[in-house]
Amino acid sequence: MRIVVLVSGTGSNLQSVIDAVADGSLPNVEIAAVGADKHDTYGVERSAAAGIETFVVNFKDYAERSEWNHELTEKCLSYEPDYVVSSGFMRIVGEEFINAFDGTYINTHPALLPSFPGAHGVRDAMAYGVKVTGCTVHIADAGVDTGPILRQEAVVIEDHDTEETLHERIKLVERRLLIATLADLAAK
């Protein structure tokens, strides 16, 4: 199973996938490439260090969102992936991309969707005052963190949590769910 992983930042969840592929825990998964929507992300840097092909389709280089979306779609298609994984990819992709990867675009989100979608899932859950949040791995459609849910797990919010401590605990679960989801998909 060939995957392209898209990142916008640190790529710590991506690193767990790189490690799982390297240590044989995901025997049928190949990371064909890692792409980002901006320059100088640690996600791309760590992928290059692991010998994985990388690319950047820099959002700010395009006057029109549709042009960026077209370029991103073409670039991802060029690797002939079975799945594209949004792992902390913080841009909404357009119709052309969604149509090209219909049902094969996977996203992870640090909240129990459909609650708290968007760029600040952890912060929004804390601000609301929920006592349990979690993470979701789902097939992404044209909405913001919407689409059929594949895996989900709860994480309890502790009184002493900050956004950072809670997000770190959520990410530990998120990594496990992402790897389990990829293993499931690769076994199909």
Residues that are catalytic:
109
Q: Is 169 in the site for ligand GAR (CB under 6 A)?
A: no
What is the CB neighbour count within 10 angstroms for residue 51?
A: 9
Minimum gap (Å) between residue 49 Cβ and ligand GAR: 15
Site for ligand GAR in 34-53 (CB under 6 A): 43
Q: Is 110 in the site for ligand GAR (CB under 6 A)?
A: yes
Q: How many residues bind ligand GAR (CB under 6 A)?
A: 18
Q: How far apart are CA 42 and CA 176, in angstroms?
A: 21
- Selected from 171, 177, 179, 185, the binder of ligand GAR by CB under 6 A is 171
If DSSP states are collapsed to H, E and C, what string results for 84-127?
A: EEECCCCCCCCHHHHHHCCCCEEEEECCCCCCCCCCCHHHHHHH
- Selected from 3, 4, 6, 13, the binder of ligand GAR by CB under 6 A is 13
Q: How far apart are CA 23 and CA 42, in angstroms?
A: 21
Q: Is 134 in the site for ligand GAR (CB under 6 A)?
A: no
Q: Is 94 in the site for ligand GAR (CB under 6 A)?
A: no
Q: Is 12 in the site for ligand GAR (CB under 6 A)?
A: yes
Question: Which C-beta is closer to ligand GAR: that of 49 or that of 119?
Answer: 119
Q: Is 121 in the site for ligand GAR (CB under 6 A)?
A: yes
Question: Taking every pair of C-alpha atoms in the chain, what is the biggest distance, in angstroms?
Answer: 47
Q: How far apart are CA 9 and CA 39, in angstroms?
A: 10
Minimum gap (Å) between residue 81 Cβ and ligand GAR: 19
Q: Is 11 in the site for ligand GAR (CB under 6 A)?
A: yes
Question: Which C-beta is closer to ligand GAR: that of 7 or that of 32?
Answer: 7
Minimum gap (Å) between residue 9 Cβ and ligand GAR: 4
CB 156 within 8 A of CB 172: no
- Sites of contact with ligand GAR (CB under 6 A): 7, 9-14, 43, 87-88, 108-110, 119, 121, 145, 171, 174
